[in-house]
A and B are shown apart, each in its own frame.
Chain A
Amino acid sequence: MRKLLAITLLLLGACGQQDSGSGNTSAEGPAGEGVAVIYTVNYPLAWMARTLAGDAARVIFPAPAGEDPAFWQPDTATLLQFQQADLVLLNGANYARWVAGVSLPASRLLDTSAAYRDQLLAVEAAPVHSHGPGGEHSHGDLAFTTWLDLELARGQLQAVAAALQQLLPGEAGAIAQRRDILDGELGALDARLVALGRQLAGAPLLYSHPVYQYLQRRYQLNGRALHWEPDQFPEEAHWSELESLLQTHPARLMLWEAAPGPEVTERLAALGVTVVVFAPMANRPGQGDFKTGMEANIAALEAAAVTAAPPQSAGG
């Protein structure tokens, strides 16, 4: 009876209604009405989308140059542009935390790492805490520089290509061709890194920042991460920590996101550690693109690996 009353009230309430049912943005590609607009949260995805779509779409990566897109926060105007995009490419692995706190149209979002969610790496967990009735929980997170495992990057490429083919059905054939070429190029870079990992054979390494987790896992590197910034001279306490670490982890190479100052390079050299710049490429490079940047990274590591690799045993 109560339900019937509710329905009747609803019915009456519905009467008379006429139901309506009845900073520095990097933009590449043609502008104008009718051109698909694609927004991305980092440079590798922008590079993939741009290479795959060619002139058929406008690819926009709005994070300013020099900022880490993982921690950059778009302003409201940029956020509204994200909302208007035909496709928003997300990296997944909780990359760009701002995404979790905003409203984006779910139908136009693509988590490019969704296909390999089970392969994502957890970073060192934050303290477990509890308050109220919710029980214990931790704000621990996932490592997010997924594309440094080039096999995972190839997976992201496939996801981006499939989304673009759906968005631009007229370009599906061309996108497939470009995808195959790009996949081959990433595969070749991956093979070089696999060989490099074998050459290093577990030799101890250092990382200036904890961003190389996927590189380490895929290419079987043996690195330890510090929290050193390229534009800052580390405090003496940090140098002491490093010296202690070198006692147990005698690394001869240290991978940096960007070249540190000459004083840092010299002091590291004095400790027997050579600086190798291996840029994660999360933001657009000053010159070249993702592929040339990765080639430069690999070349630098290949050149330095000669000194770091353990000596080959006689007679193999």
Chain B
Amino acid sequence: MAGVMGSFYLGWRYLRHHPGKTTILISSITLIAYLPVGLSMLVDEGAQSLRARAAATPLLLGARGSPVELTLNSLYFSTDTPALTHYAALDAIEPARAQAIPLYVRHQARRHPIVGTSLDYLDYRALTLAQGRGFAVLGEAVLGAQVATALDVGVGDSVVSSPETVFDLAGVYPLKMPVVGVLAPGYSQDDRAIFVDVKTAWVIQGLGHGHQDLARPESAAAVLKKEGDRIVANAALVQYNEITADNVDSFHFHGDRGGNPLTAILPAPVDDKARVLIQGRYQSHPQLQVLQPRAVMDELLATVFAVQRYVLVAMAMVGTATAAVVLLVFLLSLRARRAEMETMSRLGGSSAAIGSLMLAEMVIVLLSSVLLAALLSAATLTWGGPLLQAVVMN
């Protein structure tokens, strides 16, 4: 026993004496062990999270087009806007069968998606408020937890919508929206979104707006021409870019509400029968498609897992090559240390003792690498997700 301990002691002292070589060896073996495990953990955890959100969304209704785009935009607020549907499609869903929640995810405020929806969405996703209250008046916004932190804004501050394109000088005006609430962290995409009433999203789009009453005498400067009951305004017409208690009454929408756009509708069926009936109704609808997000995500993730398998095979090959190099390093090291071993032999060291010394060095390196890989895996499990999330966000 004392001999084994002695071998480990001498091995330890040797490795400490050659820190460069030891570090390279331990790092190489650690990475070989950690990378495939860590990647699998990240992908599995991500897939679980994506599947959980998809599973919590029984149905998704939207315009015919790419199911993937519709799902990614509606569940994860991706920037690609799917084909648009209209509010009339929401009105067509019988309340007795499903609660229908509108979604209009098209605009952004400082790179955070603005989700136009109804108050029902907060209940649907079981989101709770950490500060303030839900949106009540046109123009008000509720922030996801991460948005509030990232923008350093809270209740009483405001956020401004971003123009769709930088060079759209003739486009809609940015809308300044007072923040009336901040959501508690939900550890989902909702943390990174800004929630407004769908009507506010339409105002951002320019479908609704507020301006001076052109029929009033004080608006004369803004009138280009007046022919009977027809008034044409000039560029001096003041359109409001902030909705306040004083001007909220002047905000109006042109045309029928049913014709206003939505990116998707979230139907929450009252029971399985209602779900099946809704699916049947839209199965062969010429303009609309109804999706089960879980099925869409499963299909997507199958593709991702296929890619992951290729990556793992590549890693295995790289790992084998690295292991071979490590082995070579050990063997070369033995040759380089021949004189050292002869000296130990002359001092009375047996071949077994010298062999066990070499073995102890290898065991110390391997154990250190495995320990480090385990620590990295544990860290990945704990912090990897949020860290990568932050990287993706920024």
Contacts and interface: CB of A to CB of B under 8 A. Distances in A.
Interface of A: 3-4, 6-22, 73, 76, 79-80, 83, 97, 100-107, 125-137, 139, 166
Contact of B188 (A21, A104, A132): A21
Nearest to B54: A21
A101 B248 contact: yes
A136 B206 CA distance: 15
B186 A20 contact: yes
Contacts of B43: 11
A12 B100 contact: no
A11 B249 contact: no
A14 B135 CA distance: 27
A102 B138 contact: yes
B59 to A, nearest CB: 14
B120 A105 contact: yes
B39 to A, nearest CB: 10
Given A4-B307, A17-B187, A11 B118 contact: no
B304 A8 contact: yes
A9 B388 CA distance: 9
B137 A102 contact: yes
Interface in B124-164: 125-127, 133-138, 140
A6 to B, nearest CB: 6
B337 interface: no
Interface string B231-263: 111000101000000001101111100000000
A21 B300 CA distance: 20
A8 B46 CA distance: 9
The 3 closest A-B pairs by CB, nearest first: A16-B385, A21-B56, A15-B385
Contact of B229 (A21, A97, A125, A134): A125
Given A13-B388, A131-B211, A106 B100 contact: yes
B92 interface: no
A106 B118 contact: yes
A129 B214 contact: yes
B314 to A, nearest CB: 15
B55 interface: yes
Contacts of B393: 13
A139 B216 CA distance: 14
Contacts of A4: 303-304, 307
Contacts of A105: 118-120, 123
9 contacts: A4-B303, A11-B304, A12-B391, A14-B389, A15-B42, A16-B388, A80-B136, A103-B118, A103-B199
Given A11-B47, A16-B388, 20 more contacts: A7-B300, A7-B303, A12-B42, A14-B49, A14-B389, A15-B46, A16-B387, A19-B53, A20-B126, A20-B127, A22-B56, A73-B249, A83-B136, A101-B199, A101-B248, A102-B136, A107-B100, A129-B214, A129-B230, A129-B231
B326 interface: no
Contacts of A134: 206, 254
